[in-house]
A and B are shown apart, each in its own frame.
Chain A
Amino acid sequence: MPPLSAPSRREALGLLSAGIASGLGACAKPSEELVPYVVQPELLLPGVPARYATALSLGGWARGVHAIAVDGRPIKIEGNPLHPASLGATDVFAEAAILDLYDPDRARTVTERVSGIASWDMVERALAAPLAQTRREKGKGFRLLTGHVTSPTLLRQIAALLQAMPEAIWHVHEPLDDAAALRGAELAFGRPLRPLPDPGRAEMILCVGADPLGPGPDQIRFGRAFIDRRRDPARFGRLYVAETALTQTGIKADARCALHPADAAGLLAALANALGAALPAPDLPPEAARFAAAAAADLRGAEGRALVLVGDALPPELHALGHWINGRLKAPVTYTAPLDLAGDRAPADLATLAADLDSGAVSCLAILGCNPVQTAPADLAFAERIGRAGFSVHAGLHGDETAGATHWHLPLAHALESWSDLRARDGTASLVQPLVRPLYGGRSDHEILSLLAGEPATAGYDLVRATWHDQGGGDFEGWWRKALHDGVIPDSAAKPVEPGAARLPSLPKPPDPGFAVELRADPCLYDGRYANNAWLQECPKPVSKQVWGNALAVSHAEAARRGLEAGDVVVLGLGGRQIEALVAVESGVADGAGALTLGYGRPRAGAIGNGIGADGYRLATVAAPRLLPGVSLDRTGRQGEVLRTQNYTQIEGETKKLFRQIVLADLPQAKPKGIGADRPTLLDPWTGDADGHAWAMVIDTQACIGCNACVVACQSENNVPIVGPEEIARGRMMHWLRVDLYDSGTPEAVNAGFQPVPCMHCEHAPCEPVCPVAASVHDGEGLNLQVYNRCVGTRFCEANCPYKVRRFNFFGYADGQPYATMGAESIKAQHNPNVTVRARGVMEKCTYCIQRIANERQASERDGRPMGAVATACQSACPTRAITFGDLAQPDDPIRALRQDPRHYALMEELNTRPRTTYLADLHAPNPDLGGRT
């Protein structure tokens, strides 16, 4: 017992004064003003994520998304199920947009070329005189250059601007657009029409140079419809792909032909002739001719259910021929009139602008949200030409290459910071709403355009509302709220038009048959606009698995003929311009051709993206923007390194074991393979705990199109750090989920497929018994957990993991030793507060998004109901719904049926690890006439 007697008077006084002194020390006021919530804002519960429907653009087209914010911080992008271009899924670009928002390299202030940092007031004053002059002259000499625009508000503003200044001209430059398809439609139908193919109804599809499952604004919609149809074996159909180098679409093909781009015209002509066109008989290589004959037979036999897709890189005449063939095949394609016009004025192109700049006709040039200095064809020499404008201003997210060439640069607000609206490929409009105030003081393109138009400063919010003010039939506010809430504007899709019969175009003269290089959209950087996004730089490309750079893909035969080896530095030359590129020797590339993705080699992308890879734009010309004929290729004798996360795809004896492939004809005989639970073992069988959940995942490799949305979604959800190119070169990486590529074919005849590999959550997990400190443990719901706090970093778990899915923090990638700017304060704001940021020296891995399971458990306990479905981040991102997550303990959970599917198998079930993540085999329907895939 302590003494009960009171302290003496002196002791009491002493304690009192000591207490006052220590209390005063703690009461120092913070220097900043703190404002507490007096009234808690509605819908903003501390720590509870709020979802906002909005839309993100890719090449101007909308993909509807839900942006998730916690305590006012946007942390994650998910798909909007109501949106036709998202269907609840995302792509890599949408997932990574959240990192772009926090990019510390974003433009933070208005800058002037000579005097540097300026302010919005200064730019308004500086603009006043030249704009007033221009307006007096009815816009003579005023030029507006934008990227592809679908935003109804922006189009309305441009139309108003052009009306006020009739002599002003609006130009559009979008490096990866569908202009060739539109021009083709113009040739075929006499007017520009935008085709929207429906792979859900087309069982026989032929892609000539087209990669509809590859990166682009239509990837999600196309992939979903294509794969959903293929889930029904009766409507599996056949996908024919003829392409220069292997793409995601090529990997999913049932019959594939590596086609020199010069032969594309011949292939289409052969097909057209088989359908009754009397074109001159093309001169095709025998293999391509056989391919064309087989494809023609299949397509002809499936009239009304057959479709031909022509690549955007091919010339308009071939698109016109494609439209003609689709007409003959009664292909499920709907045509819509272009919605991306300002009033009735179509934009002019970049070449016209360049010519006008030359002639000194441009006195005032405003570039809004595009980067022509980087992405314009090199023969336009746009950087120098901009200098000929009397006054130039550029608005962009980054102080990029174009910002360096103009007089003024204005910081643009990110899509998650601004009000706007966008249309999807089918014309459906969505409202874009901000989640945060502009972090770096940017303004939206609407606000900047209104500034250019000399209007009084108007908020983007008001501008967007003004566009839609006549909607809602009297109840505009109700309509507005619903449109914001849903993320789509009802009945805004474009009405299909009847194109009429297509004319057979005259085919262009075949291009120079020399070494051709195809410039492609990069599956990670698209056209280069995402070059400063570290998630995307470190995202392995679907086919090459290359990260942090691009390389010229050439075939094995071509490499052997030219004495090239992977990693050689070569000089590509065309028309006096040269670039240096690394060589990658890949399977499935046409001889005499190569492929290079765009978006690399940027000098002013930012700390992440500067100077990485080769810049294909430097070889592009107005005449040949994407298909470069007659490129010279010379060795420099130097060596570089193609950084890859997967070094082997074709190993005899391994590929077939790890990646189950079934031919459609054999499907009825296929039997499901279990997880090896019938094998003898010394270990006790897994038994769950009392609350009775048994989480499991089934991944359908047939449905996987390798798009990497899951990889980036996992990174975003789970605070997975970036390691940087130096670490990748040392063989280190952090992705919890990887998409493996397996190819059981040959370098000439690819037979490949994708296999996403997260943690297997083995019931008899090899990682658990080897951990000396019990940091790797199993829980009662079948999850294999990693206790970060307990991990000492022996790495025995990863050494013993046959699937190699564990990831080790060799350095503090997220903990004091970040790559480049990835440790910036702003980046930290992106982190998911429900997921620990791992320390140096700690092992980590896929948790089946345990935080999402926990959220659902808490919600169900709060509401007194059984737990509902849980969607992991990878699952909710997947455009083709290849990933299913569920509870084996629930009798009605669909995952139980999937485990009984004839295509079911477990990875390395012979090791008796009893994995919880299992797979459905890849499925193909090869054409017996062509041999090829087996």
Chain B
Amino acid sequence: MKLANKLAIGVAIAFAAMTTAASAADMKIALVVKSLGNGFFEAANKGAQEAAKELGGVQVIYTGPTSTTAEGQIEVINSLIAQGVDAIAISANDPDAVIPALKKAAQRGIKVISWDSAVAKEGRIMHLNPSSNELIGKMCLTLAKNHLEGGKGDFAILSATTTSTNQNTWIAEMKKQIKDFPGLNLATTVYGDDLADKSYREAQGLLKSQPNVKVIVAPTTVGVLAASQAVKDAGMIGKVYVTGLGLPSEMAGAIKSGATKEFAIWNPIDLGYSATQIAYHIVKGDTDAKPGSAIKAGRMGSIKIGDNGEAAMADPFVYNAKNIDEFSKIF
């Protein structure tokens, strides 16, 4: 009898301890990244923490494996399942291998979404892309317009290879939307094969053969960097501008030299912020995140879920002399 009493009290205390620990805790959202120690993901965490602060009562667990392996992410997911987090927002190292672990998480009531690098459809509720092809095409045209006097004139595209799927899709989008930009004229498209030296030579060629071209748009990080260098070396700064999609750390020099006034790429801070916002609203039950629905994501506005449960966050983020120093340290 005595022993039974003691046991009962012990169990009761243990339970009480566990339940108080659970109720005292906030909503726990795990931000799982490809690997720790990567500036891009550190920045995403910054955004996630910002969202948590804004929403209140949210604890963001920023975690990931040491190296970019699926096995490492599965170990991380298992420990998150064990902790009973409320949501997992993952940038996956492998779209398929993490699915069994994520399905197990879903079975135990954890809401799973992916962001940046997608998980295949059956492993997550929705996927958040940093942007969409349509928005990227539009952004490239806007950048070209902003560099031209009065928004009118000729521009050329310096792309990657003729078979690069992403770049070809974006160029097609630009051609489709150019009618919305009166006065803007696409003179020619050249291909630098995403090689620094070839892109540089193609840019040099453009400067000589197309004197009317006042802006070179390169929707690739290699191209935009090489073209900036070519313009600088040819002493054409201020006459011909370069813009497109690039990494702030690589483009800082081009901004400083004046070869580029502004360029764009997704903002990892916004991405982490939006992923956290979306996970929060799914856990709260504000939305089922089915295709066709829209989710409020704080300062990023409303994000629409499209086909396959994929969503595009926003326009690519524009970087210029004002914010380049801040972001070139991040990625």
Note whether A and B form a binding pair.
no
Listed in ascending order, the chain A residues whose CB lies under 8 Å from chain B are none
